[in-house]
Amino acid sequence: MTDAVLPEEIIVNNIYSIRGHKECLGVCLAELYQLGARQLKQKVRGHPERFSDCFMFELTPEEQIVLRCQAFLVVLP
């Protein structure tokens, strides 16, 4: 990735409310860093000293449904 600064709106549009916290999905982070989601996950797991324990967690099936709905609402005009 280049050292270019991303516009704030791109970052803000990729933040979701999950478990009462503002979070960015791995797939969104991977896209921002120009990586595949699998590559990002491998890098995080390969360098645990660089990331806190709460950096990554798995969504429940219910949370996945809610996020799909949130993403769908963001796309609607």
Going from N- to C-terminal start, the domains of the chain cover 8-75
Compute how many other C-beta atoms are within 10 angstroms of the C-beta atom of residue 40: 19
Mean pLDDT of 43-55: 84
Rounded CA separation 28/30 (Å): 5
What is the model's pLDDT at position 39?
A: 92
State the pTM of this model.
Answer: 0.62
SS3 61: helix
Inform me whether the pLDDT recorded for 44 exceeds 60: yes
Inform me whether the pLDDT recorded for 1 exceeds 80: no
SS3 17: strand
